[in-house]
Structure 1
Amino acid sequence: MEQYKTRPTKQFLRRNSAPGVDSIQGPDAADFGVMPGTSIMLSRSTVLDKAPSATASSTPPVPTPTPSMQAARTHQHRLNAAQEQRTYQDSRQRLLSHIGTVMGICEDLKRERRFPVQYAKQPFSVLGLDMKMGHQAVNDIHKLESGTLSSLLLEDKLSHCLSHLDNLRGRVADTSSKVLVTGDLNSGKSTFVNALLKRELMPADQQPCTNMFCEVLDATLNDGVEEAHAIPDVTQYNRLDSSTYHVIEMRHLNKIIMDEQPSSRYQMLKVYTSDRRSTNESLLHNGVVDIALIDSPGLNTDSVKTTAIFARQEEIDVVVFVVSAENHFTLSGKEFLLNAANEKTHIFIVVNRFDSIRDKERCRRLVLEQIRQLSPATYADADDLVHFVSAGSIDISEEGTPKTVDAPEFARMEQRLRAFVLENRAKSKLQPAKHYMVNLLRDVSLLSESNRVNAVQASADAKRQLELDQPAYEHLLQLRDRLLHRVEKMASMATSQIQRQAAARLEAAVQAIGEHTVDQLEYPGILLIWQYAQDLADCMSQRLFKEVRQQENVTRRETTAALESIHAMAVEHLGEFPVRADVDSMKRNRHCVTIDVEATDFFDLDEKLSGCAISLGAALAIGSRMMGVKDVVSSLGGVNNIRRMVIPAIGIASAGLLLYVVSDMRSALERKLVRKFQAAARDSAHAEQQARRMARESRKVLRVEGWDIQARLQKAIETKEHQRDEMTAVVHTSQESIEYFTALLEKSEQLLDKVASIQTDSTTRLYN
């Protein structure tokens, strides 16, 4: 980053010191004792005697400028003040504009949630984080998880930056400058404040009477109303909110300030007062810089630290230290100056009650020597910063206007104080804001550049990873289609084979049902033939059921073999994984083919009727041949004899027929039941149903394995697609991040150049 830019070599004057006067001619020259047509060059070496160095003797010479030199310096101060006022107003407006822009950058960076923000390896000035884990500090912040940093750490840091920028904006926008008036006990601080205000406002007494901080402001800041606000909590004070303060009438002001009790209830007292003098003469409201005077309690062992801390606050522009000419610097005063000098390099010192000193030169010499030891920077500009006055000699009327003209020393002191406040407000108001914004913008630029480089690298890595991963992704898609097709084919082949084998075996078992059942039963005789028929029917049913169970076992083995083949094929491509399909979950058959035994099952009429038909035909043929012997028979026996022979013949035939039926009943029963069972099996399509059921159960088991393989393939594909989606999102987010941080980098660098070019020092440039 570029450092602050400086203009070409010009003549610079030390701030807080009396500038030189170049080529004073014309009517102004007469005021400075210069003859017309001549010119003079006034510098610090010509105005003052040789300034004592740090190694000078303990009694350095006292500067004694002539009246003409003082007039020249006063005139030059006025010129410089006008120039510095214009420069200050320009710098102030530019800073206010830039503060708003910087706050916009911080707000945008704080709200940005589209992509993570990572910390750079380089240290930060403002955005740095002091993190600790346990008793050890975390130095490599950039190694932490970026999302956590963006959402928590950086967001909190930016919130703090926004709050500080808002405070700086209010500080820069504030047109008033605060002057802290402090000093030892009974040094005449309140008298000095009254002399500056040309009004008896603060209580003055020979004894310490100020017990709290009292800030005196112009009444125009309070709508023109003169009153005092007693503030219990300074941080909560709001002039428009009456609940944050207690109104004190001006006539009770002395009592409140001198009373020791309110100091325990109120932290500060703001006094709004009117200055009846003209704008050019007024100190509080002078048209150039509005000044707020803060009268503090006298220094002692309890308040030295408090006042020193108050003096280091950024709201304080100038510290005016009032020291009694009679007592010089006490121990408490020295301690305060040493503490305050750490923040305020230049202290405006007023040696009060100087008129009561007889040996004024000795007093001046001793006080300056003490100042040289306590604040060398103040001593270097002693002519402008150290003044020996008598505030009590300023005559003030009741109306708030002086009756007589102020002493030259006091008027000169007042003018130098106003100029010193004017010069220091740039340092106290503008320079902190500029310095903070420069450091913040440098951090933003560093953060932007680091994140832009990281985004470019992340985008390149993601694109390269996508290219490298593309073949594997395409192979996975092809593998899914090919593997699932093979699984489906193997499962279909296995179930078709199972169905064919089961159907063939069960049909064969039905055809051979009689061969395996009749021989297994023992015939109990004609008397128990009904029970024999029931047992035969049950035996055939159990035989077929057993065949079904055996085929189910075969189906399980074949299903297991097919499952193992499918699983092995999947493991080859997907790696090891457990088999989720359970062959034992295949349902077994619980249905049997049954038949009912009927009375007709004991007689095989079909076979007997066919035998009778054959016998009847033979009988008719024989009968026709025997017609020839009819006459012989008739002649032998006659009709009566024939009738007697028919009845016995019928009886004999019936007995023979009955005997035949009884003897053939077992065979007829077995034949009828076997045919009846086979017909029942065929009618119910038992073999086909059982074969389809076994194939269906096998298909369920193999389908579970197929679903598992499909799910694993789909999960692998989804995982791969998710990874690719993440990498694609990284590419997209990185591209947005590159564009965002590139724009932010350009904006912050341009703004940094603008902020760095703002003049915030009080050095007056005089051009030849």
Structure 2
Amino acid sequence: MSCYLPNTLATSYQDDLQAELQSSSDSGYGSVLDAHSEIPLATPATNSNSNHQSLLQQIRYNDNRARLARAIDGTATLLSNLKEHNDNVRPSHYPRCSRNQVIRGQSSFNEPESNRPNIRPAFSPLEDADQKSEFVDDALLVNSSVESDINVLKLDLRVEAHESESLHTLEAKSIGSLLSGRFTKSLRQLDALKTRIDDTSSKIFVTGDLNAGKSTFCNALLRKQVLPEDQQPCTNVFCEVLDARENGSVEEAHAVPHGISYSRLDERTYQTYPLEKLDDIVDDSINWAQVKVYVDDNRSIDQSLLRNGVVDIALIDAPGLNLDSLKTTAVFARQEEIDVVVFVVSAENHFTLSAKEFIWNAANEKAYIFIVVNRFDNIKAKERCRRLILEQIEKMSPQTFKDSSELVHFVSSNAVLDPFADPSKVVAFENLERSLRQFILVKRSKSKLAPAKTYLELLHRDIHTITSTNKGAAEKEYTKADQELSLVTPEYESTISTRNAVSDSALKIIEETCRSVQKYTRKHLQTCLRTMDTPICSYPGFLSAWHYAQQTQSMVLKKVEGQVLDCESFARSKTVSGVDAIRQLGLSSLKQYNPRQFNPHFMFSRRKDALERTISVCVQWSDFIDLDQQEKNGAIGMGVMAMTVIGGKFLSGKAILDGLLKIHGIGGHKLAGIGAVAFAISDLPRAIPKNVAKRVQKVLDSSDFIHNNSERIVRECRTVLNMPIEELRACFQSSIEEQARKKSELEKTKDESGTALRFYSRALKQSAEMGSIVGKIDLELD
């Protein structure tokens, strides 16, 4: 940017810049402007244009910082909504990776470089917005090409041979739980980013492999021997080097125990040691979590990094990456709290696998990493070494490689404090120092704001991918549920209608069957009772008249019983037809209908007693004489009366004849009596069946025999016919309940997927809008 102003205005701009830096808590400059620090003011004649540019740069910096802060707040709200929906509404789907691909967050440190997915820091919110994802049947996973774009929200699954649980085998709740953890971690990271961009200080994180020369590099920056150096690993505790002015200009070390939140004003949170004891403290990781080292750098503000006159600097010396797994994990976690990563790599060893892993992980936030290739003086083929290292950097951090002239330096840090060192080595380190100062103090948008922008870009890319995945899954699920519901609902309503119609038809079959059986039974038994007086056995003669009467009575009862059995047989036949008709209704109406076996022979099996044993009918003297013939022969009545008086039971025809003659003798009309007796004897074959049938009919009528039997038979038929209809109703009910359950599930699925579709559509739109805002923040104008 170029701007030319009259000299009369130069002083005004210079004053404005001074006021801006001193008064604004948002400036990022004013926290260390006190009696001990001052900005070197240029003369109006020479630097008015430069001062004006500095002021504009600061205004632009504050504007970008405010825009990033708003973007962080909006992103945190969106991410919280995604987490809330994932936790309490329905688990989110996650893009699928191929089965042999490792799903990485912080993965194993020995993974081949070829497996590392490409990280794309740039974000276009509308990119692939209309692209349709390919879904597997369970609608949980999409194609691997989409998954490879996940960076910040990539699930952290440690896949080990023969005992891994692949993403393909995880249930939706498990995937949702893993995503919830990533959402929570990103929310913490957003909060840390907000704190970092609001913080006026800058934290420089110096890390690298074991014995790469990290402590030597820090001492070279301080131009004094502060941190312990050794050929063996000597730094096991995080050492944070700060300006001694923050500690009352007293040089000392504050050792902070594990689990304690450090406060310089609260001496209970640390123990004080002189700097000479640092060798013992930094090696004691059992007692100390970190060490705050306050150092007095008396160099001028244009030379000192700690006392730079612009911002507070914290220089953090980290343990080596390969010291042990706990230390390595701590280094990975700590880098998320700092602004600038200075990665020290040995020129002799190049980048180890753990170094690559760290840079890959840091690339989720920091597109620019300051790389120091130390001990370069030990390399003979320097150009070859330079070329190989730059090729590795290009793959790991493209943006760093792009600005490698400013961000990648090949130096020998031990030469700075060596008075006999080759001056060219010192010059190389001074060039590194100027570039680092420029990166931290001048190009603050890159060092301070770029990590936040990079993280937001990658996060919104991940949100865009995940919301697109879930929108597509919800849309597919909604469409599928709606289509199935359009088929199930008519089927459900048809089944209910069919059940009612089949039930009515079955009831009609029962009523018609029972009505037919009842009509047949009543008519058949009535006909039987009307024709019982017909002789049904041969007459054995006068002398066996009594036996004939008994035999006639027994045969009459058996005839009636036979007719009852015939009615039952008819009812059984009609019931079989009715059962078959009802079953046919079920077979024609239901897809799954397996009726139970019906055995008609078990019908009427409860009636065990014979009719002649259940009806009390005994042969009487009145059964031998047809009283209707009294008018034809009056003496018969007298004989009957006399025999009634005499009483008793005669066992032979001779006895009957003698009795009749004696009766007539009493009356005095012997000839007339003989004739009447002769008539009575000759009428026995007709009189006995008639009288016996009449008396049996009278007994049956008095017991309502026809009605009771017809009701009994119909009741049995109705009971049997109700069994298949109840079975049919049960089948219909089961089918209706199953269809109702499926219909309810589809309605629930449709409602939930519709809600999810609307939610993810809004989230996708919001992420696209915020991603576009973040993408338009230009940090390249420093």
TM-score tier by shorter-chain length is 0.5 to 0.7
What is the distance in 1 between the residues matched to 2:485 and 2:322? 73
Check the 8 A contact 2:240/2:314 in 1, yes or no. yes
Check the 8 A contact 1:96/1:172 in 2, yes or no. yes
Note closer, same or farther for the CA distance 1:429–1:322 as it changes in structure 2 (3 Å cut).
Answer: closer
Selected match of 2:559 from 534, 538, 543: 543
Amino acid in structure 1 at the alignment position of 2:80: E
What is the distance in 2 between the residues matched to 1:488 and 1:210? 93
Match of 2:67 in 1: 94
Query: What are the within-5 Å matches in structure 2 for residues 88-237 of structure 1?
Result: 88-112=61-85, 120-121=133-134, 123-124=146-147, 125-126=149-150, 151-174=173-196, 175=199, 176-180=202-206, 212-217=237-242, 228-231=254-257
C-alpha displacement at 1:488, in angstroms?
A: 3.0
Match of 2:603 in 1: 586
Selected match of 1:249 from 272, 278, 286: 272
For the residue of structure 1 that corresponds to 2:604, the secondary structure is coil
Amino acid in structure 2 at the alignment position of 1:346: F
Amino acid in structure 2 at the alignment position of 1:105: L
For the residue of structure 2 that corresponds to 1:263, the secondary structure is coil
Amino acid in structure 1 at the alignment position of 2:518: Q
Amino acid in structure 2 at the alignment position of 1:549: L
Whether 1:509 and 2:528 are equivalent positions in the alignment is yes
C-alpha displacement at 1:750, in angstroms?
A: 0.8
C-alpha displacement at 1:160, in angstroms?
A: 1.0
What is the distance in 1 between the residues matched to 2:52 and 2:373? 24
Deviation string 1:290-349 (CA, Å, 9 cap, x unpaired) is 32223468x99979x9899959945565567999xxxxx985799999979997753469
C-alpha displacement at 1:686, in angstroms?
A: 1.3
For the residue of structure 2 that corresponds to 1:123, the secondary structure is helix
For the residue of structure 1 that corresponds to 2:203, the secondary structure is strand
C-alpha displacement at 1:286, in angstroms?
A: 7.1
Match of 1:346 in 2: 370
Selected match of 1:421 from 429, 435, 440: 440
Amino acid in structure 2 at the alignment position of 1:99: I
Match of 2:773 in 1: 754
Note closer, same or farther for the CA distance 1:128–1:522 as it changes in structure 2 (3 Å cut).
Answer: farther
Check the 8 A contact 1:191/1:202 in 2, yes or no. yes
What is the distance in 2 between the residues matched to 1:111 and 1:656? 121
What is the distance in 1 between the residues matched to 2:673 and 2:351? 160
For the residue of structure 1 that corresponds to 2:315, the secondary structure is strand
C-alpha displacement at 1:594, in angstroms?
A: 0.9
Amino acid in structure 2 at the alignment position of 1:586: M
Match of 2:14 in 1: none
Check the 8 A contact 2:318/2:331 in 1, yes or no. no
Deviation string 1:526-549 (CA, Å, 9 cap, x unpaired) is 6x94x7766654544343223222
C-alpha displacement at 1:265, in angstroms?
A: 2.5
Match of 1:493 in 2: 512
Higher relative contact order (CA 8 A, sep 6+): 1
Selected match of 1:597 from 599, 605, 618: 618
Selected match of 2:573 from 519, 538, 557: 557
Match of 2:101 in 1: none
Amino acid in structure 1 at the alignment position of 2:311: V
Selected match of 1:687 from 695, 706, 717: 706
What is the distance in 2 between the residues matched to 1:319 and 1:73? 35
Note closer, same or farther for the CA distance 1:94–1:648 as it changes in structure 2 (3 Å cut).
Answer: closer
Check the 8 A contact 1:178/1:316 in 2, yes or no. yes
Amino acid in structure 2 at the alignment position of 1:435: T
What is the distance in 2 between the residues matched to 1:270 and 1:570? 85
- Segment drifting more, 719-728 vs 582-591: 719-728
Deviation string 1:92-119 (CA, Å, 9 cap, x unpaired) is 4433432332233233233336678655
Amino acid in structure 2 at the alignment position of 1:248: Q
Match of 2:22 in 1: none
Query: What are the within-5 Å matches in structure 2 for residues 32-47 of structure 1?
Result: none
For the residue of structure 2 that corresponds to 1:676, the secondary structure is helix
Deviation string 1:566-601 (CA, Å, 9 cap, x unpaired) is 433554454684444735253343463512427655
What is the distance in 1 between the residues matched to 2:330 and 2:750? 53
With normalisation by structure 2, the TM-score equals 0.60
For the residue of structure 2 that corresponds to 1:249, the secondary structure is strand
What is the distance in 1 between the residues matched to 2:216 and 2:160? 54
C-alpha displacement at 1:163, in angstroms?
A: 0.6
Aligned residues between the structures? 628
Note closer, same or farther for the CA distance 1:384–1:572 as it changes in structure 2 (3 Å cut).
Answer: closer
C-alpha displacement at 1:751, in angstroms?
A: 0.7
C-alpha displacement at 1:690, in angstroms?
A: 1.4
Note closer, same or farther for the CA distance 1:694–1:379 as it changes in structure 2 (3 Å cut).
Answer: closer
Selected match of 2:313 from 291, 295, 298: 291
What is the distance in 1 between the residues matched to 2:388 and 2:665? 171
Deviation string 1:621-643 (CA, Å, 9 cap, x unpaired) is xxxxxxxxxxxxxxxxxxxxxxx
C-alpha displacement at 1:379, in angstroms?
A: 8.5
Note closer, same or farther for the CA distance 1:465–1:313 as it changes in structure 2 (3 Å cut).
Answer: closer
For the residue of structure 2 that corresponds to 1:215, the secondary structure is strand
For the residue of structure 2 that corresponds to 1:178, the secondary structure is strand
Check the 8 A contact 2:626/2:691 in 1, yes or no. no
Check the 8 A contact 1:556/1:583 in 2, yes or no. no
- Segment drifting more, 121-130 vs 454-463: 454-463
What is the distance in 2 between the residues matched to 1:614 and 1:337? 141
With normalisation by structure 1, the TM-score equals 0.61
Check the 8 A contact 1:317/1:425 in 2, yes or no. no
Note closer, same or farther for the CA distance 1:332–1:237 as it changes in structure 2 (3 Å cut).
Answer: farther
Amino acid in structure 2 at the alignment position of 1:748: S
Query: What are the within-5 Å matches in structure 2 for residues 450-469 of structure 1?
Result: 452=471
Note closer, same or farther for the CA distance 1:546–1:744 as it changes in structure 2 (3 Å cut).
Answer: same
For the residue of structure 1 that corresponds to 2:284, the secondary structure is helix
Structure 2, unaligned runs of 5 or more:
12-41, 96-132, 135-144, 363-367, 391-400, 420-425, 639-663
For the residue of structure 2 that corresponds to 1:271, the secondary structure is strand
Note closer, same or farther for the CA distance 1:495–1:220 as it changes in structure 2 (3 Å cut).
Answer: farther
Deviation string 1:373-401 (CA, Å, 9 cap, x unpaired) is 797779845999979996699xxxxxxxx
Note closer, same or farther for the CA distance 1:700–1:97 as it changes in structure 2 (3 Å cut).
Answer: same
C-alpha displacement at 1:556, in angstroms?
A: 1.1
Check the 8 A contact 2:306/2:314 in 1, yes or no. yes
Note closer, same or farther for the CA distance 1:491–1:76 as it changes in structure 2 (3 Å cut).
Answer: same
Match of 1:17 in 2: none
Check the 8 A contact 1:179/1:294 in 2, yes or no. yes
Note closer, same or farther for the CA distance 1:419–1:576 as it changes in structure 2 (3 Å cut).
Answer: closer
Match of 1:36 in 2: none
Query: What are the within-5 Å matches in structure 2 for residues 343-422 of structure 1?
Result: 346-347=370-371, 380-381=405-406, 418-422=437-441
Note closer, same or farther for the CA distance 1:99–1:556 as it changes in structure 2 (3 Å cut).
Answer: same
Structure 1 vs Structure 2 CA RMSD = 6.4
What is the distance in 1 between the residues matched to 2:354 and 2:155? 34
Structure 1, unaligned runs of 5 or more:
1-9, 12-20, 30-68, 324-328, 352-362, 394-406, 618-645
Check the 8 A contact 2:477/2:750 in 1, yes or no. yes
Match of 1:431 in 2: 450
Deviation string 1:395-440 (CA, Å, 9 cap, x unpaired) is xxxxxxxxxxxx9999999887554433576556543443333233
What is the distance in 2 between the residues matched to 1:712 and 1:300? 69
Note closer, same or farther for the CA distance 1:565–1:749 as it changes in structure 2 (3 Å cut).
Answer: same
C-alpha displacement at 1:676, in angstroms?
A: 1.9
Whether 1:697 and 2:716 are equivalent positions in the alignment is yes
Match of 1:641 in 2: none
What is the distance in 1 between the residues matched to 2:353 and 2:730? 80
